[in-house]
Chains A and B, each alone.
Chain A
């Protein structure tokens, strides 16, 4: 099982991801954004950071990196791809996931642990039971998820909402539990096939008790177990 972690100019969480999957006993390697082959990788991670300085819009330039054509092909073949934070933004800009991520409603960069409720979804990357509450940090300025009403209906109907921001007991506050104003408290979504997953929180930062928790482990172990089963 080998994870491939894409490095865009301005990515800054790729080492955390490699460390996290190594810590969990999996192999990982870096993929340069100019590369045109994903050979040898079983799952692809688009990490957090500020690709291309977030110019124009977050992820708007990175989606045209040469490697992204390969990532699109990889997803079309059913390959598992996860986009974390800036990676999520890149996946929406590349139209691999619907909707967009706007500036946080409070106009403040948000950096803190958040409670997330696992929803019943098609996501292959996470097989925690529905209603499980995990604590994972967010670290972003543009995490305010939005989409039109029709898209939201489809996300709900198809089980594409994977994670929602919530209160510590799993409930959702009146007026929303999202720290960034996200529509319907959405923190993470997947595509219809469940193989492409994007989320604003950073599970790679909580795989070791040394850095404050282990709730992030299930985000990487699930896909490894699933791939091992397929083979």
Chain B
């Protein structure tokens, strides 16, 4: 099996309420150095060997991410 890791994050300019809340909370806890927190999704995907990354991109565009509001990054991890 081939393994991919997918990171889904909001596009630039889309407000991320959980990220903004975590950011405020960290500052309130005294971590004044915190400038920004963004919270996204992490997906582990296992597919048949030889699956082209193009297919994985298609899965992201169709279901795993919403291109209207989200960006994604695919990393090839190798064998599962």
Contact = CB atoms under 8 A, between A and B. Distances in A.
Given A102-B14, A107-B17, A181-B15, A93 B69 contact: no
Contacts of B66: 57, 60, 93, 100
Nearest to B13: A148
Contacts of B14: 102, 146
A105 B17 contact: yes
Q: Which of A57, A92, A107, A144 has the most CB of B within 10 A?
A: A57
B21 A107 contact: yes
Contacts, number: 36
Interface residues of B, number: 10
B29 interface: no
A103 B21 CA distance: 12
A104 B64 contact: no
Q: Is the interface of A mostly helix, strand, loop or mixed?
A: loop
A60 B69 contact: no
A56 interface: yes
Interface of A: 56-57, 60-61, 64, 92-93, 98-100, 102-107, 144, 146-148, 181
